Amino acid sequence: MRKKKKKNPKLIFHFPQRMLLDYCASLNNTRALNDKRNFSFYQGDITNPSEVMDCLERHNIDTIFHFAAQSHVDLSFGNSYGFTHTNVYGTHVLLESAKKVGIKRFIHISTDEVYGEVEDEDDDLLETSILAPTNPYAASKAAAEMLVHSYQKSFKLPVIIVRSNNVYGPHQFPEKVIPKFTCLLNRGEPVVLHGDGSPTRRYLFAGDAADAFDTILHKGHIGQIYNVGSYDEISNLSLCSKLLAYLEIPHKTQEELHKWIKHTHDRPFNDRRYAVDGTKLRNLGWDQKTSFEKGVGITVQWYKAFGEEWWGDITKVLTPFPEVENKKVIAARDVVVDNIEGDMVVDKNDDMTLKQTNGTKA
Cα separation, 298 vs 303, in Å, equals 9
For residue 90, give the nearest of 141, 149, 30 by alpha carbon: 141
Cα separation, 300 vs 246, in Å, equals 7
- For residue 130, give the CATH number of its domain: 3.40.50.720
Range of weakest confidence among 77-86, 128-137, 253-262, 303-312: 77-86
80 within a domain of the structure (yes/no): yes
11 within a domain of the structure (yes/no): yes
Structural domain of 37: 2-164
Question: Does 112 participate in catalysis according to the annotation?
Answer: yes
The sign of the CA dihedral 32, 38, 42, 47 is negative
Strands 166-168 and 233-235: unpaired
102 within a domain of the structure (yes/no): yes
Mean per-residue pLDDT over the chain, rounded: 85
Mean pLDDT of 232-237: 94
Question: Does 137 participate in catalysis according to the annotation?
Answer: yes
Say whether 39 sits in a helix, a strand or coil. strand
264 within a domain of the structure (yes/no): no
154 within a domain of the structure (yes/no): yes
Say whether 257 sits in a helix, a strand or coil. helix
Whether the predicted pLDDT of 4 surpasses 70: no
Give start and end residues of each alpha helix (H) in the chain: 49-58, 73-76, 80-83, 90-101, 136-155, 177-186, 206-219, 236-246, 254-260, 279-282, 292-306
Q: Tell me which of 25 and 275 has the higher pLDDT.
A: 275
For residue 71, give the nearest of 137, 161, 156 by alpha carbon: 137
Catalytic residue among 23, 62, 74, 137: 137
Catalytic residue among 45, 51, 74, 113: 113
* Structural domains of the chain, count: 1
pLDDT tens digits, 112-151: 999 999 999 899 999 999 999 998 899 999 999 999 999 9
Catalytic residue among 45, 74, 112, 350: 112
Q: How confident is the model at residue 33 (pLDDT cuts 50, 70, 90)?
A: confident
345 within a domain of the structure (yes/no): no
pLDDT tens digits, 153-183: 999 999 999 999 999 999 998 989 999 999 9
Cα separation, 179 vs 199, in Å, equals 18
